[in-house]
Amino acid sequence: MALDKILSIGGKPGLYKLLTQTRGGFVGESLLDGKRVTVGLRSNVSVLSEIAIYTLEEEVPLKEVFQKIKEKENGNKTSVSHKADKIELEEYFFEVLPNYDEDRVYASDIKKIIQWYNILLDNNITEFVEVEVKEEEAPAAADASAEEE
């Protein structure tokens, strides 16, 4: 499942999987306990694929941050809890993303990122970045589709 179907809903703990859209909002399913929730259009909702983290040079998509955590932890859960103290969270995040903007990325943001990563792992959602197609293969695929027409 891609991160564009995973939601963070303001005021509700954890993450939610988008099930269906309705006229007045959508229905989501909690990745923590499987309970379904109906969310209105006025709710503060963020799609994980649209979230980025500030660095000193640019904004890094959350999926790339998750991938860096995955590489650091060899595909396992984080070595630090999201309930750890501020200094420990910042030290850990500095190892993952050394150039993150300490003035605009707060400890509460780092807590969420660590918690979300572990929730995604618990739900076997581990493909954070798309596998890139090699350049040699891409033109061959384009040529094949052109011949079929």
Query: Residue 143: its pLDDT value, please?
Result: 46
Q: How confident is the model over 79-112, as pLDDT tens digits?
A: 999 999 999 999 999 999 999 999 999 999 999 9
> What does the chain look like in DSSP terms, one character per residue?
--GGGEEEETTS-S-EEEEEEETTEEEEEETTT--EEEEETTS-EEEGGG-EEEBSSSEEEHHHHHHHHHHHTTTS--SS-TTS-HHHHHHHHHHH-TTB-TTTS-HHHHHHHHHHHHHHHHTT----SPPPPPTTHHHHHHHHHHHH-
pLDDT, one tens digit per residue, over 21-74 is 988 999 999 999 999 999 998 899 999 999 999 999 999 999 999 999 999 999
pTM score: 0.83
Domains along the chain with CATH numbers: 3-47 (2.30.30), 52-122 (1.10.10.1650)
What pLDDT was estimated at residue 129? 75
